Amino acid sequence: MAAASRLEGMQTAQDLIICEHCDSVYRRRTLARGDVADCVVCGAVLERHQWIGVEGQFALVVTSAIVFLIANLSPIVTLGLSGMSSATTLWGAVIAMWRDGAQLVAFLTAMTLFFFPLSQIAIFGWVLWFARSGRRAPGFARAMWALVSIKPWSMIEVFMLGTLVAVVKAHTYFDVVPGAGIWAFGVLTLLITVFSSLDSRELWTVTREDPA
Ligand SMILES: [Zn+2]
């Protein structure tokens, strides 16, 4: 545990860290592996040491993008009924649910399994692409805000469980064979969990505004 030192004298904005809870201002300190900087006033966490660098985070996002593509293009389940079988992708399932009168479930599934992960991957990738060379992406502040707001909505794990339950239930009517897409979504869940655990606030420190 390393408490950040309180502010003394003039500092540049990048060297400062403000407690999100009580607005105390601190001078930023380089954290070693496993270090956590706490606010001495209210005890809130100011910053954690990042175990994976910007290059590593970027590689993680690129991998997620590829897995996302596979997950969306591969069949998630194959349904068999009296000798006939049909494979369905995520979008096939969403459309089927919509037509079946389950519009809310269809909408939520599309949001949590498609739009939220896609925006998380796209925005994080955009910010990191520039951060690799120490620059701030155009729209940096808005992108950072969006990342924080999307986080609690990317409930991909919850819907993975829902999908599994649906597959098991459908098993009573059809022969259900989980497709490659389900496994890809499983891997994607892990990847998104990992990069959602990263402290994206660190990007404020490692990047500088373009001198334009
Ligand atoms: Zn505080």
DSSP assignment string, 1-27: -EEPEEP-S---GGGEEE-TTT--EEE
Asked if 41 and 22 count as a contact pair (C-beta separation under 8 A), the reply is yes
Ligand 1 centroid–CA 40 distance in Å is 7
Ligand 1 centroid–CA 3 distance in Å is 11
Token look-up 């990263």 returns 198
DSSP letter at 174?
S
What is the average pLDDT across 136-144? 89
Give the pLDDT band of residue 127 (cuts 50, 70, 90): very high
Q: What is the pLDDT of residue 9?
A: 47
Ligand 1 centroid–CA 11 distance in Å is 19
- Among 11-15, 97-101, 192-196, the minimum mean pLDDT is found in 11-15
Ligand 1 centroid–CA 52 distance in Å is 26
Ligand 1 centroid–CA 155 distance in Å is 29
Average pLDDT, rounded, for the chain: 78
Residue 81 has phi, psi (to 5 degrees) of -140, 120
Give the pLDDT band of residue 70 (cuts 50, 70, 90): very high
H or E segment at 177?
strand 175-178
Check whether 144 has a pLDDT greater than 80: yes
Residue 175 has phi, psi (to 5 degrees) of -85, 115
Burial classification of residue 191, based on how many CB atoms lie within 10 Å of its CB (0-12 exposed, 13-18 middle, 19 or more buried): buried
Q: Which residue has the higher pLDDT, 150 or 80?
A: 150
Ligand 1 centroid–CA 72 distance in Å is 43
Domain map (residue ranges) of the chain: 2-48, 54-206
pLDDT tens string 5-59: 554 444 466 678 888 889 888 887 777 777 788 889 988 887 777 667 888 889 9
* β 36-38/2-3 pair status: parallel
What is the average pLDDT across 84-103? 80
Ligand 1 centroid–CA 20 distance in Å is 7
Ligand 1 centroid–CA 113 distance in Å is 36
For 47, other C-beta atoms within 10 Å of its C-beta total 20
Give the pLDDT band of residue 146 (cuts 50, 70, 90): confident
Burial classification of residue 108, based on how many CB atoms lie within 10 Å of its CB (0-12 exposed, 13-18 middle, 19 or more buried): middle
Q: Which residue has the higher pLDDT, 169 or 43?
A: 43
Ligand 1 centroid–CA 32 distance in Å is 21
Give the pLDDT band of residue 2 (cuts 50, 70, 90): very low
